[in-house]
Structure 1
Amino acid sequence: MPPTLHPVFTYRAFISKPDTLALGATKGGAHRICVPVTDGFLRGTGKAAGIDFEIVQGGSDWPRADPGTRIIHLDSRFNARNTETGEVLYGYYPGITRPDPEMQKCLERSPEARTTEGREHYWVMTPTFEVSGEGMKWMEQTVFVAHGHWFVPGDGRQAVEYEVYKVVSG
């Protein structure tokens, strides 16, 4: 029986356009940028409702865009803290996305940029976590997959948002 996916939490990370650094073409010809993560959250759903972390500054996305394939290889890291328990979380998520017209509007900060839905893009990641609290150690021993989309609240900010699923063996 194939594995199934169970929704676990939503990860939303607001990004800083003014502090974004474009390195341009790097080894292999791919274009690298550095996009600082300013704030956001991880909020549990269903049986994982106890997951409630606030993202703290210090994380970034370091995607590499391959102009030959039009694929963006994600390389993102962030830190978060549970404001009630003080538990700390480190997240790393590699992934792949294929830019499309709606995504391009968000990347360019177009006034036409809008909140999108996961089904509108091919935007997949495989996050892993390290946690300080014993109650969350299961996150270090679990395989997760997620699909992403843009969150544009209309206040001039933008966020990447992922619906994260736990992979459960047949």
Structure 2
Amino acid sequence: MPPSLEHVFTMRMYTSPDKALVIPEAKGNNHRIVAFLTHGHIKGSGLEADLLPGGADWILRDPDTNTGHLDVRVQFRSKEGHGIYIHFKGVLQIDEKWMEVFTGGPKARTLEFGENEWLGSPIIETSHPDLKWVERSAFVSELRWFVDHDGSVAVENAVYKVKPSRV
């Protein structure tokens, strides 16, 4: 029996795509995109925390395949004052729907999970005594664009704990 997944957190991290740093032809023919994350939250499994300044997604985009290689580092503070640090790598297929949101196009809208390929593998550290289990767990995540009612744009990340198979 293969491992199973249990949804444990949802992260919503707002960004300003118009303020992203785009460096064409960095590292050969690749493009570097630095998307700064301005505010947001993580919720689930007894955790509620706010995104702190300084987080970003450093995407390396291969223009031949439109594949983005993610390198995300973010930090949160819980309502009780505990720190949460999350670093994740991932892959993203940059398609027309994704670009429509990133460029602020007229058809920009919230995408459904799975509408494009956008996956991550978070590693989580925390000082929260009730959440130390996250440091002993493996996670995978699925991401999507979330366009708020006021037009602001967020990356929403559904985080799943990988549960080992039963013998």
The alpha carbon displacement at 1:156 in A equals: 2.7
Counterpart for residue 129 of structure 1: 124
SS of the residue 1:104 aligns to: helix
Preserved CA contact (<8 Å) 2:145 2:155: yes
User: What TM-score, normalized by structure 1, do the two folds share?
Assistant: 0.93
- Which amino acid counterpart does residue 37 of structure 1 have in structure 2? L
Q: Using the alignment, how far apart are the partners of 1:86 and 1:169 within structure 2? A: 32
Distance in 1 of aligned mates of 2:151 and 2:112: 19
Unpaired runs of 5+ in structure 2?
none
Matches within 5 A, 1:123-162: 123-162=118-157
SS in 2 for 1:120: coil
* Identical-pair percentage: 38
- Structure 2 counterparts to residues 50-69 of structure 1, below 5 A: 50-69=46-65
> What does 1:47-86 align with in structure 2 at a 5 Å threshold?
48=45, 50-83=46-79, 85-86=80-81
Q: Which amino acid aligns with 1:100?
A: D
Distance 2:16 2:102 in 1: 11
TM-score of the pair, normalised by structure 2 = 0.94
> What SS is found at the alignment partner of 1:136?
helix
RMSD: 1.1
Structure 1 residues not aligned, in runs of 5+: none
Partner of 1:12: 12
- Number of residue-to-residue matches in the alignment: 165
| CA deviation profile, 1:136-163 (whole Å, cap 9, x unmatched) | 1111111000111110013131001111
**What amino acid sits opposite 1:153 in the alignment?**
D
| Shift in Å, 1:18 | 4.2
